[in-house]
A and B are shown apart, each in its own frame.
Chain A
Amino acid sequence: MRKKKALWLGVLALLALPWVAMWAPHPFTTSTPEGTVSLQSWPDHHLALPTDQAEGEDTKAQANLPFLFAVYTITWIAFFGYAFYLSRRQAELRQEIQALQEEVARRRQQSSQ
């Protein structure tokens, strides 16, 4: 029971971490001392940046945050959901195996009598 609680707390903490980071003094706007960097192999013509993004570092940093959090949330929910489905299904199957084993043993005993 305690294990389960700890697991759920861990999951909640994991899901909450970036949201807390978002409301904390903004990590994205404080760029590194070297400034921002660019993926060299992504030339500008590949991009169609909205104009509001090109206005300044702060705007650029904060724009599109919902997209990042959508990706983050979808990814972890999918993984936790799948892992939860697998463990639940496994628990059901283990119960079924036990019941079937008992039933087979009972029938064999009956037929031998």
Chain B
Amino acid sequence: MRAAAAVTLGWVWVALNALSAIYALSKTGLGVMWFAELLVVALLASPGALLVAWGRRRPQRYEEFMQLAKQVLLPITGVMMLLTLSMVFLWVPTDANLGVSQRIFYFHVPLAIMSLLPPFLVSLSSIGYLWRRNEGWDALSLSAVEVGVLFTTLTLATGSIWARPTWGVWWRWDPMLTTFFILWLMYLGYLLLRAYAPSPDQGARYSAVLGIVGSVNSVIVYMATVWWNTQHPEKVVGPAAEAGSLDARMGVALLVAFATFALLFAYVLLERLSLRRDEAQVEVLRAQLEEAR
């Protein structure tokens, strides 16, 4: 019954995403990017939630699925990486204003977009954990945050390196950069809260609340260039972008780069989830060993 409800919810979510994508396609010139963005959210978030529900009911098949998914994802990601690199270094045209440094765009933008996915996953799984107290939700939340730290750190680093030749400085306390920096701090705060909580259960509960509250910041980050007068370039993809703001070849390369980083995100997330599962098993076995004494 629970699994059926989870599956239904998952499909409702996918349908909502599809509807939003159709709406976006009709409203923006680069609707396909928005569609890709939503597709990744749908592909990762909904099955992520389903995986948690399924993993509880069929642990053996869940483990087999995870192994298979990782084995399939790894070579595909490798091929996509090579394709991205070929496009970025050999195919895309050079920007008239920024020159070669504009090619940082194909790393920085997909990383930044993917950095906004974990808050979504964390809020979803945190609500799930507070509601059902299922360890699977907590594992998904923790894994998403850890992967989120990696992506946000890289976004900040690549952005800073890009800022040097274009703005002449490494960093500026601009609304977009500052809100993104706050997102990074929130991820770190989440991990610190878990590490220093009096008990694992309390840590999971407190961090779930922080995860839900903190996810609001991702919306602020996304809308920063719209709400404030910022030095950061305006959006060139997604629903907030002006139509035709990106050259067609640049758009294709960005789409491929985005797909690569999305696959990389999925792969790393699955690896982290597997690791969390092993960590939980070690904790259970240690408790059994204590009992056996």
Report chain A residues within 8 Å CB of B81: 14
B235 touches A71 (CB 8 A): no
Residues of B within 8 A of A (CB): 78, 81-82, 85, 89-90, 93-105, 107-108, 111, 150, 153-154, 157-158, 161-162, 164-168, 231, 233-236, 241-242, 244-247, 249-250, 264, 267-268, 271-272, 274-275, 278-279, 281-282, 285-286, 288-289, 292-293
Point out the residues of chain A lying under 8 angstroms from B167, CB to CB.
47-48
Is A78 within 8 A of B154, CB to CB?
yes
Q: What separation, in Å, do the CA atoms of A75 and B162 have in the docked complex?
A: 13
Query: Is A68's CB under 8 angstroms from B100's CB?
Result: yes
**Is B158 a contact partner of A75 (Cβ separation < 8 A)?**
yes
Q: How far is the CA of A68 from the CA of B95 in the complex (A)?
A: 13
Given contacts A41-B241, A75-B107, contact A50 B165 (CB under 8 A): yes
- Report Cα–Cα, A14/B103, bound state, in Å: 17
18 contacts between A and B (CB under 8 A): A14-B81, A34-B93, A37-B94, A37-B95, A37-B249, A39-B98, A39-B246, A41-B245, A44-B97, A63-B99, A71-B107, A75-B158, A78-B153, A93-B275, A93-B278, A100-B282, A100-B288, A107-B293
Known: A75-B154, A93-B282. A49 touches B161 (CB 8 A): no
Query: Which of B93, B161, B233 contacts A37 (CB under 8 A)?
Result: B93
Interface centre among A53, A75, A107, A111 (most CB of B within 10 A): A75
Known: A40-B245, A68-B100, A107-B289. 8 other contacts (CB 8 A): A47-B97, A64-B101, A65-B100, A67-B162, A71-B162, A93-B278, A108-B292, A111-B292
CB distance A49 to B278 under 8 Å? no
Q: Are B101 and A37 in contact (CB under 8 A)?
A: no
Most buried by A among B94, B268, B282: B94
- Given A17-B89, A40-B244, CB of A104 within 8 Å of CB of B101: no
Question: Which residues from chain B contact A47 at a C-beta distance below 8 Å?
Answer: 97-98, 166-167
Size class of the contact patch on chain A: 35 or more
State how many angstroms separate the Cβ of A30 from the closest Cβ of chain B: 9
Q: How far is the CB of A29 from chain B (nearest CB, A)?
A: 8
**A5 contacts B by Cβ under 8 Å:** no
Q: Complex formed: what's the CA distance from A38 to B55 in Å?
A: 48
Residues of A at under 8 Å CB distance from B?
10, 14, 17-18, 21, 27-28, 31-32, 34-42, 44, 46-50, 53, 57, 60-65, 67-68, 70-72, 74-75, 78-79, 82-83, 86-87, 89-90, 93-94, 96-97, 100-101, 103-104, 107-108, 111
| Chain B residue at minimal CB-CB distance from A42 | B233
In the bound complex, how far is the Cα of B150 from the Cα of A83, in angstroms? Answer: 11
- B271 and A37 contacting across the interface, CB-CB below 8 Å: no
Give min CB distance, A39 to chain B, whole Å.
6
Contacts of A78 in B (CB 8 A): 150, 153-154
A90 and B274 form a contact (CB under 8 A): yes
Nearest-CB residue, chain B, relative to A79: B264
Query: 3 tightest A-B contacts by CB?
Result: A64-B101, A100-B285, A107-B292
B30 to chain A, nearest CB (A): 11
A39 neighbours in B (Cβ, 8 Å): 95, 97-98, 102, 105, 233, 236, 245-247, 250
CB-based nearest A residue for B153: A78
Q: Which of B82, B107, B165, B286 contacts A72 (CB 8 A)?
A: B107
How many angstroms from the CA of A94 to the CA of B244 in the assembled complex?
51
